[in-house]
C-alpha cells in the first residue's frame, strides 16, 4: 500500500476526569482569564450547570436551547451575548447546547469551553449547524471549535440507557462514515477504528450496568475520538442522509443516526474492502455488517425510523433531497432507487440486506 495523504489536526485542549468537571471548569475559566462568562444549559441541565459554575463568576445563565439550532434562537442568543459583554461561552449539555454556543461563536469569535453530557461529539468538531426553513445548514469554521473540552463521565450517568445507546450510535456513525468521507485518510481512519472499539465496548457495559462509570468513560472517550475523526474526514453518505432527515422532517438526531447506520454500512461495505476490514476488526467480528448487527442486538438499539415520527409518504421527497448531497468520495454510486430502497428499510426497520 502506498502512503499518500494530506491531513490537518485541529488544536484543542481536552481534560478528562470523572467527578472533576467543576474544578476543571473553574481552572479553565481562570486560565483563559475570562470575567464575563455566559453559561448555556437547557432548563433540564440547569441544576448541573449551577453546580458546575460555583468556582467562577457567571455574568449570564442562558437556557433558550432547541434541537438543531433554529436560526431565530441563534440570533437572539448572539444579541444577548453582546448586550452582556460576554468574553467566554461555557456550554453544558448535549449537542443542541453545544450547537447554540457554536452559533454564537460563529459571528462573535467568542471562545467556547464545552462540558458535554451526551455522546454526540459536537464539542470535538469545527462544524456548525443551523436550521432555517426546515433545512439544516452546516458549515466549517475554526472559530466554532471549542478551545477546551471538559469531560466528566459522571455527568452522563443520568442519560437513560435508551438515549445513551442512541447517542453512542450517533458517535459510532461518525467513526463508520469517516472511513469513506471526502477527506478520509489513514490517520482519521485509525482514530475512527479506536473510536469504534471504545464505543462498542463502552455501550455494552452501559447497557449491562447503567450506573457503572467504566462503560460511561469508555463510551465518552470513544465519542471524542469519533468527533475528531469526523471533523477531519468530513461528512460521508450517512451524515448527508441524516442531515436531510433531521432538517426537513424534525426526526430526533441520535435515533435517526442509529436507525440509518446499519443500512449505509450494508450499502457501502462490499465496495470499500479496506474500511470493511477495519470496522469488522474494531467490532471483533468476521464482517462489519455482522459485527454491527450483533452489537445492535446486544444494545437493543433503535431500528425503525417510523417509531420516531418519520412518515413513509416522505420517502420519495427525502430521497430526492439526499441524492444531490451524496459525496463523490462514496465507494459506490448511489441512485434515487437505491435511496428510496434504503429509506424504506430505515423506515420499517427490516433487517439489512448486504
Binding residue for ligand NAD (CB under 6 A) from 12, 53, 96, 303?
96
Nearest approach in angstroms of CB 323 to ligand NAD is 21
Is residue 67 close enough to count as binding ligand NAD by CB under 6 A? yes
Distance CA 193, CA 79 (A): 41
Binding residue for ligand NAD (CB under 6 A) from 39, 52, 153, 159?
159
Is residue 255 close enough to count as binding ligand NAD by CB under 6 A? no
Strand 148-151 and strand 112-116: the pairing is: parallel
Distance CA 329, CA 266 (A): 17
Is residue 239 close enough to count as binding ligand NAD by CB under 6 A? no
Residue 144 CB-half CA count within 13 A: 23
Residues 103-122 that bind ligand NAD (CB under 6 A): 117-118, 120-122
Given the complex with ligand NAD, which of 234 and 291 has the nearer CB atom?
Answer: 234
Is residue 175 close enough to count as binding ligand NAD by CB under 6 A? no
How far apart are the two ends of the chain, measured CA to CA in Å? 27
Is residue 235 close enough to count as binding ligand NAD by CB under 6 A? no
User: x/- string (CB under 6 A) for ligand NAD, residues 68-87?
Assistant: x-------------------
Strand 127-132 and strand 37-40: the pairing is: unpaired
Tell me how many residues contact ligand NAD (CB under 6 A).
27
- CA 280, 281, 282, 285 dihedral sign is positive
Is residue 240 close enough to count as binding ligand NAD by CB under 6 A? no
- CA 153, 155, 158, 164 dihedral sign is negative
Is residue 94 close enough to count as binding ligand NAD by CB under 6 A? yes
Given the complex with ligand NAD, which of 169 and 326 has the nearer CB atom?
Answer: 169
Distance CA 62, CA 39 (A): 6
Nearest approach in angstroms of CB 118 to ligand NAD is 3
Residues 20-49 that bind ligand NAD (CB under 6 A): 42, 44
241-244 contacts at long range (C-beta below 8 A, 24 or more positions apart): 241/322, 241/339, 241/342, 241/343, 242/173, 243/129, 243/136, 243/138, 243/325, 244/136, 244/318, 244/321, 244/322, 244/325
DSSP string, 211-267: T-HHHHHHHHHHHHHHHHHHHHH---HHHHHHHHHHHHH---HHHHHHHHHHHHHHH
Is residue 100 close enough to count as binding ligand NAD by CB under 6 A? no
Is residue 253 close enough to count as binding ligand NAD by CB under 6 A? yes
Binding residue for ligand NAD (CB under 6 A) from 81, 100, 112, 155?
155
Given the complex with ligand NAD, which of 289 and 303 has the nearer CB atom?
Answer: 303
Cα of 302 vs its chain's centroid, Å: 16
Is residue 99 close enough to count as binding ligand NAD by CB under 6 A? yes
Nearest approach in angstroms of CB 65 to ligand NAD is 8
Which residues in this chain contact ligand NAD in the complex, by CB under 6 A? 42, 44, 67-68, 93-97, 99, 117-118, 120-122, 125, 127, 129, 155-156, 158-159, 163, 167, 170, 253-254
Amino acid at each position: 500500500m502506498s502512503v499518500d495523504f494530506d491531513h490537518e489536526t485541529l488544536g484543542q485542549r481536552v481534560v478528562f476526569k470523572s467527578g472533576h468537571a467543576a474544578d476543571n471548569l473553574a481552572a479553565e475559566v481562570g486560565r483563559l482569564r475570562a470575567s464575563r462568562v455566559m453559561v448555556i444549559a437547557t432548563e433540564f441541565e440547569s441544576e448541573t450547570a449551577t453546580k458546575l459554575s460555583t468556582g467562577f463568576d457567571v455574568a449570564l445563565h442562558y437556557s433558550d436551547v432547541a434541537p438543531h439550532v433554529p436560526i431565530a434562537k441563534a440570533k437572539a442568543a448572539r444579541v444577548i451575548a453582546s448586550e452582556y459583554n460576554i468574553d467566554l461561552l461555557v456550554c453544558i449539555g448535549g449537542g443542541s447546547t453545544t450547537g447554540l454556543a457554536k452559533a454564537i461563536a460563529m459571528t462573535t469569535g467568542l471562545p467556547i469551553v464545552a462540558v458535554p453530557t451526551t455522546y454526540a461529539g459536537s464539542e470535538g468538531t469545527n462544524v456548525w449547524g443551523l436550521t432555517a426553513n426546515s433545512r439544516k445548514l452546516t458549515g466549517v469554521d475554526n472559530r466554532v471549535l471549542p478551545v477546551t473540552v471538559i469531560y466528566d463521565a459522571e455527568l452522563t450517568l443520568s442519560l437513560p440507557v435508551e438515549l445513551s445507546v442512541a447517542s453512542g450510535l450517533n458517535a459510532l456513525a461518525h467513526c463508520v462514515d469517516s472511513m469513506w468521507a471526502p477527506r478520509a485518510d489513514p490517520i482519521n481512519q485509525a482514530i475512527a477504528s479506536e473510536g469504534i472499539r471504545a464505543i462498542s465496548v463502552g455501550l455494552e457495559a452501559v447497557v449491562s450496568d447503567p450506573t457503572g462509570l467504566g462503560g460511561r468513560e469508555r463510551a465518552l472517550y470513544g465519542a471524542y475520538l469519533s468527533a475528531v475523526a469526523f471533523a477531519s474526514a468530513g461528512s460521508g453518505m450517512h451524515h448527508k442522509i441524516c442531515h436531510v432527515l433531521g432538517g426537513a422532517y424534525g426526526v430526533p438526531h441520535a435515533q435517526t443516526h442509529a436507525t440509518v447506520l446499519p443500512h449505509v454500512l450494508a450499502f457501502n461495505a462490499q465496495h470499500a474492502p479496506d474500511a470493511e476490514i477495519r470496522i469488522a476488526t474494531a467490532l471483533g467480528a468476521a464482517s462489519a455488517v455482522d459485527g454491527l448487527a450483533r452489537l445492535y442486538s446486544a444494545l437493543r438499539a433503535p431500528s425503525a425510523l417510523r417509531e420516531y415520527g418519520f412518515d413513509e409518504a416522505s420517502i420519495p421527497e427525502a430521497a430526492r433531497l439526499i441524492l444531490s448531497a451524496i459525496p463523490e468520495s462514496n465507494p459506490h454510486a448511489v441512485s434515487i432507487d437505491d435511496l428510496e430502497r434504503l429509506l424504506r428499510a430505515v423506515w420499517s426497520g427490516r433487517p439489512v440486506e448486504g
